[in-house]
Structure 1
């Protein structure tokens, strides 16, 4: 794969899951990630040993946790993964009844179709999340979970506002799972262990996810977590090595970690 291409950023969480799967006590297992890493020609070695790979795994574990909880309450609901990349949440959390939509840019979907295909319950949508027409391709009913993992920070604030308004208008009552990076992280991204190695640039900084809920009257933040404040049941299920990393962060590291949040927002 071409270094610096638009597809490059989707390979970071993919590689993180593949590396995790090879461990004797993993936080999650993803054999499809291993398969894709082996099939895509790319210099993954530049990410080896970087702390952010573990952070990506914990983020994915939290989004999986939210998805399982949503499907437990709404087994016939609809999950929409925006900026899906090469995500495999369906393989890890599907209940055999829900409907899924995987949305990403055309070249990402082209890559994705090398490994996945549409089914009766699972559909890929080739479009930008900022395109107001993409919801027209969602033809199933709610309730809805909109999952935006590691995507919105790369948009402008104006675009993020438009996306939030779009999904609120088209999928009323939906849950929006998203992550945000604070001002300090965005400002120092060229020193970030992983982002400094790719061409992608974060454009949107958000220090308080409640600001996002404030864009839409009636929206409510149901939960907001950092890597050091994961839901107790999820933290308890993490391998001991991950719990030790969280427990042993020094104050300077904590300041950085606290600026990155993962939030679940109910839209009106």
Structure 2
């Protein structure tokens, strides 16, 4: 089968790392995530994925994915016909993992990423694929045409934007979709400052631009977001943590013991959008 050549920007290239992380985990005998579609895509794409081998961020990426999956499933259990918007969809397969047969879905990403995505995924009566930036409001009408309530999930995207752009992007979503849930990850200051250390084997040119150790900071921006839940990757929900192999659980405990607050390299946050006081004063 012919291999698929790719042309991606620096930030968009990072989608290949998260794709590879899911494929590697799927190939394990006792992996904590099953994603055969990821394996298929890695085998089809003409790219040296092996440069990511040995990076500790692969396992971290998988745990982040699992936690976000759990939150989306929780939303769909309450609102089975609601709409999920995957911001920066890349080559994610969250729809394939959590689809309940009734939900509506929007995959959103930049044009070059969406062009690649269209080689592997197709639209349906419940699924739309939109080429646009999270900083552009043009796609809001596409979402509003689908059933409420809404759940926005953004994985490995916002941390590549500067704080001003993050604030604007989240504020526009919050004001445009009151009552929606918004889940995203952040990188702590220590991670941003040490991202180029050899131990992380980053192997891509993109650089984290925004650090956030405390999700309450986002709430204090007064853009219409109320913090509902926040977890580090070492604070997985009990049900999710129980699925991890014993050795993985022991390794996580060891990391937490020896690295302390530095273990907060990634936070996964869940917010609910509400009219902000600033918006009300206009």
Normalised by the shorter chain, which TM-score bucket? Answer: over 0.9
- Partners in 2 of 1:251 and 1:28 — Cα distance? 25
Q: Determine which of 75, 79, 89 is the counterpart of 1:74.
A: 79
Matched, 1:142 2:148: yes
**Are the aligned partners of 2:12 and 2:113 in contact in 1 as well (CA < 8 Å)?**
yes
- Partners in 1 of 2:117 and 2:45 — Cα distance? 11
Partner residue, 2:68: 63
Structure 1: gaps spanning 5 or more residues: none
- Partners in 2 of 1:34 and 1:148 — Cα distance? 22
Normalised TM-score (structure 1) = 0.95
Structure 2: gaps spanning 5 or more residues: 1-5, 275-282
Q: Determine which of 240, 244, 250 is the counterpart of 1:244.
A: 250
- Partners in 1 of 2:233 and 2:256 — Cα distance? 14
Partner residue, 2:180: 174
Partner residue, 2:278: none
Cα deviation, 1:165-214, whole Å, max 9, x if unaligned, reads 11111111011101111112112211164563101111111121111122
Partner residue, 1:204: 210
Matched, 1:230 2:230: no
Report how far residue 137 of structure 1 moved: 1.9
**Are the aligned partners of 2:83 and 2:149 in contact in 1 as well (CA < 8 Å)?**
yes
- Partners in 2 of 1:257 and 1:168 — Cα distance? 29
- Partners in 1 of 2:224 and 2:110 — Cα distance? 30
Matched, 1:40 2:45: yes
Partner residue, 2:111: 106
The secondary structure found in structure 2 opposite 1:199 is coil
Give the direction of change, closer, same or farther, for the CA distance of 1:173–1:260 in structure 2 (3 Å limit): same
Structure 1's consecutive aligned runs of 4 or more residues displaced over 6 angstroms after TM superposition are none
* Number of equivalenced pairs: 268
Partner residue, 2:221: 215
- Partners in 1 of 2:96 and 2:69 — Cα distance? 11
Report how far residue 217 of structure 1 moved: 6.1
- Partners in 2 of 1:210 and 1:5 — Cα distance? 30
Report how far residue 156 of structure 1 moved: 1.0
RMSD: 1.7
**Are the aligned partners of 1:85 and 1:112 in contact in 2 as well (CA < 8 Å)?**
yes
